[in-house]
Structure 1
Amino acid sequence: MATLPVRLDRDAPGPLGVQLSGRIRDLVLAGTLTRGDRLPSTRALAVELGVSRAVTEQAYEQLLAEGWLTARRGSGTFVAAGGAARADAPSRRPLRPPTDLVRLDAGTPWIDPRHAAGWRRAWREVSTARPPRGYDDPRGLPELRAALADRLARTRGLAMHPDEVAVVNGTTDGLRHLLTALPPGPVALEDPGYRAAVETVRGLGREVRDLPALAPVTDLTGVAAAYVTPAHQHPLGRVLPGPERVSLLAAARAAGALVVEDDYDSEFRYDVAPVPALASLDRTRVAYLGTAAKSVAPSLRLGWLVAPPELGERVQARRTVTHEGVPWPVQRACLALLRDGYVDQVVRTARRVYAERAPRVAAALAPYAELAGPLAGMYSTWLLPAADAERARDAARRAGFEVNLLADYCRSATLTGLVVGFGGVTDEELDRALAALVSAL
């Protein structure tokens, strides 16, 4: 018969029977009690705990009803199938994840809590709106595409008709749609570069060709597409210079390749005005990808794609058949957030926060490492020897923070260092993380 290491708090709110059922349930979930264990009788347990038998009967009845326990006539009460295994069982897996580390990554933005009312207002509007009767236009809600076209013209210098905009489930979803509509062939990606894009290309069965992120692109022979982040190279932070933009487009024209521009982090420059989009130089050769992940929330999973006309038609023809649209509630909420000025407010606030935090990070790390690119956006990348970077990463983990190694973004490149994000943390957390990094360096 299993013992029940439980104690009841008579000063706690709520009935003792509810408290006892919760304690027993936790023992099952933790694996202290496992399938087939026999529990004490309600009478014996009541005596052991110093409570009335009604308390233990109430707890057992609740757990029997929930399926955690089973009663066998004449034998007693047992832990039912579905309970966790004992700690000494080889198949046991932890049911409760370890304490999450606070991530100082390159993709988690700062969303000022003072704007929460606008977020709630948008979703209240969604709750009262009437959803469409069937599948939406795969390009997205017409009103949302119009709002996005207006925003891209205003902020990125891209003038277009709303019908040229396609709403997608984030950047990698847009990339997947583009590559599915292209002829076979390898895809060139920056190295170091965006790991999710690399895995998207590989997942489609295409070969990945490395483009050295710090070298001009002059030859794209043999590739179907080249994926680049010209506004703020991920993760080095470099802006693609004008002459290199021209040479990239010339190489794409000569090879008949598509350039896929991921306009990463373009809204968060605070050293200079936002750099114009690469697509503004050649709309026939460049497919443009944008996302709400940095300006609204990564978990919204909403982005937009502006493809050259013929390619865009092929993408939408396929999406019409596969119904691969973005969920209507998400589109409807994003429309309200754009229309009511929420997105502009969040971007302005975040830009000010990043402009204040970036120099703090630089002041802490500059004595020990070399800055890889300009101070812009929500992270900075620091070059230093691999052993130093790993030691600093480990010290940050011990302090409760996750900081990425630059080497994790590399394939053939041999750069080493740290990628330190400062968007998705509080000021106090950032100070503690920097103290841990500095102590190690």
Structure 2
Amino acid sequence: MQTTPGSPALPVHLDRTTATPLPAQLAADVRRLVAAGTLRRGVRLPASRALALELGVSRSVVTQAYEQLVAEGWLDASHGSGTFVAGTAARPSPAVVAQGATPRTGPRLVRLDTGTPWIDPRHRAGWSRAWRDVAAATPPAGYGDPCGIPELRAAIAERLGRLRGVECGADDVVVTQGTTDGLRALLDVLPAGAVAVEDPGYRAAVATVRSAGRGVVDVPGRGTPTVPPGVVATYVTPAHQHPLGHVLPAADRVALIAAARERGAVVVEDDYDSEFRYDVAPVPALASLDRTGVAYLGTASKSVSPSLRLGWLVPPPHLLDAVRATRAVRHEGISWPVQRAFLSMLRDGYVDRVVRSARRVYADRAPRVADALAPHAEPAGPSAGMYSTWLLARDRAEAAVRAAARAGFDVPLLSDYARSSGLTGLVVGFGGVSDLELDAALRALVRGLDDTPPRPRPH
């Protein structure tokens, strides 16, 4: 096959007799070549026009395949320079590991976690543009406002009102280093007492409560939330219960707020994964029902990047002054460049674009996970967000996780998120992996489940 200078010949085959579209066939062959190491990092691929000519197809077939592989992170495209194998594709493929190959960099597993988002590489220019804006801006001479850049707080307040139904102004918002930092800021100003946390639930929230010297009271993660006597706050994830995945029904929301008001407790709403519903429109935040008794926590980790370390807290009005004073005396303001970059991302529309792209990817991947696991396990909740949770017996879940590890993947157990709850199963994240990695991981999980049939129930 003739190729452009510096480009390798591509041993691909397109079968016009099958129902699989030609762009999908071409993309699959290129994925296979990259995964096998035939195409290495930095290698330039043939130009779309040249490859189309050699394959006897229209140029759109090649461009569609290339665009799909760029979106998945296998390829990088630079206008005027060409299309190259991306650096992220250079790590040993789990599919190759599953076939018995020895990884070059040791036994590091690809983790299918619940917190790493899919960021479409086609939006990389927006990320770069935000940091160029930071470089051109003038930083404050001192520490700056401990609650965050006023313009950023105003942009977050506008976004919360528009997308989550939370009525607040810039002065009500406190910019934080993420959800746990916001929770810590709230715990610092609450009266002494324990905090109720869902079980199974967010492990980092449990660790944050305990590190603040407070007791943790387990409340069921399924069913109507409760506010036990003696707690000063109850922490919930009503938009997408973590890790079970269900949405807190409207009647239960009202009941929770009423119970907290009766107990004199604050409801801490972690608005986890709310932007990534693709079965129905996102449910309004709990704080939209009662700003006086609900503390709202949000984060950019699931939409932009966990490494950005940026979030926000909207405390109840009676706690706002105490939170602000505590952060001021400790100089707990967030990095100015990070805040300034996120402000640019909001203004430029970058955040909305990456959220829309990720929502489409998750909506495509969730049914694939369901198709693989539904014959073996019960879904814990509806499909939403960047992961799904499956209920099954502990021995079968552990067998599936072991099979995944042998194939090069780290899949969390549901029991990892539980304390007193007896729920067991799998928590399968699909945000921070490629399509090829997800499919390989699912095959490994199914192999483990097939090798461990359900035990017969005793008579």
Kindly indicate whether residue 112 of structure 2 is the aligned counterpart of residue 104 of structure 1: yes
Kindly indicate whether residue 176 of structure 2 is the aligned counterpart of residue 201 of structure 1: no
Tell me by how many angstroms 1:408 deviates.
Answer: 0.7
On the 8 A contact 2:292/2:318 being kept in 1, the answer is: no
Aligned with 1:140 (options 148, 163, 179): 148
**Cα distance between partner residues in 1 of 2:422 and 2:106:** 32
Specify every segment of 5 or more residues in structure 2 that has no aligned partner in the other structure, as ranges: 1-103, 450-459
Kindly indicate whether residue 340 of structure 2 is the aligned counterpart of residue 332 of structure 1: yes
**Cα distance between partner residues in 2 of 1:381 and 1:217:** 19
On the 8 A contact 1:404/1:420 being kept in 2, the answer is: yes
**Cα distance between partner residues in 2 of 1:265 and 1:239:** 11
**Corresponding residue for residue 239 of structure 2:** 231
Q: Which amino acid aligns with 1:310?
A: H
Q: Which amino acid aligns with 1:279?
A: A
Q: Which amino acid aligns with 1:347?
A: V
On the 8 A contact 2:134/2:340 being kept in 1, the answer is: yes
Kindly indicate whether residue 411 of structure 2 is the aligned counterpart of residue 403 of structure 1: yes
Tell me by how many angstroms 1:246 deviates.
Answer: 1.1
Specify every segment of 5 or more residues in structure 1 that has no aligned partner in the other structure, as ranges: 1-95
Tell me by how many angstroms 1:218 deviates.
Answer: 4.2
CA 1:342–1:219 in structure 2 vs 1: closer, same or farther (change >3 Å)?
closer
**Corresponding residue for residue 455 of structure 2:** none
Kindly indicate whether residue 355 of structure 2 is the aligned counterpart of residue 347 of structure 1: yes
Q: Which amino acid aligns with 1:327?
A: S
**Cα distance between partner residues in 1 of 2:227 and 2:340:** 42
**Corresponding residue for residue 216 of structure 1:** 224
On the 8 A contact 2:196/2:227 being kept in 1, the answer is: no
**Corresponding residue for residue 127 of structure 2:** 119
Q: Deviations over 1:42-91 (max 9, x none)?
A: xxxxxxxxxxxxxxxxxxxxxxxxxxxxxxxxxxxxxxxxxxxxxxxxxx
Tell me by how many angstroms 1:230 deviates.
Answer: 0.2
CA 1:143–1:425 in structure 2 vs 1: closer, same or farther (change >3 Å)?
same
On the 8 A contact 1:220/1:257 being kept in 2, the answer is: no
Q: Which amino acid aligns with 1:110?
A: W
**Cα distance between partner residues in 2 of 1:229 and 1:304:** 15
Kindly indicate whether residue 321 of structure 2 is the aligned counterpart of residue 313 of structure 1: yes
**Cα distance between partner residues in 1 of 2:149 and 2:228:** 36
Aligned with 1:179 (options 184, 187, 191): 187
**Cα distance between partner residues in 2 of 1:126 and 1:395:** 46
Tell me by how many angstroms 1:220 deviates.
Answer: 3.0
**Cα distance between partner residues in 2 of 1:117 and 1:149:** 26
Q: Deviations over 1:161-214 (max 9, x none)?
A: 111011000000000000010000000000000000000000011000001011
Tell me by how many angstroms 1:97 deviates.
Answer: 8.2
Tell me by how many angstroms 1:372 deviates.
Answer: 0.3
On the 8 A contact 1:156/1:276 being kept in 2, the answer is: yes
**Corresponding residue for residue 295 of structure 1:** 303
Q: Which amino acid aligns with 2:188?
A: T
Instruction: Describe how 1:40-55 pairs up with structure 2 within 5 A.
Output: none
Local SS of the residue matching 1:319: helix
**Corresponding residue for residue 424 of structure 1:** 432
Local SS of the residue matching 2:303: coil
Tell me by how many angstroms 1:128 deviates.
Answer: 2.0
Q: Deviations over 1:358-384 (max 9, x none)?
A: 000000000000000000110000001
On the 8 A contact 1:217/1:251 being kept in 2, the answer is: no
Q: Deviations over 1:337-361 (max 9, x none)?
A: 0000000000000000000000000
How many residues are paired up? 346
**Cα distance between partner residues in 1 of 2:211 and 2:227:** 25
Kindly indicate whether residue 144 of structure 2 is the aligned counterpart of residue 157 of structure 1: no
CA 1:367–1:307 in structure 2 vs 1: closer, same or farther (change >3 Å)?
same
Instruction: Describe how 1:220-299 pairs up with structure 2 within 5 A.
Output: 220-299=228-307
With normalisation by structure 2, the TM-score equals: 0.74
**Cα distance between partner residues in 1 of 2:222 and 2:357:** 31
**Cα distance between partner residues in 2 of 1:214 and 1:403:** 22
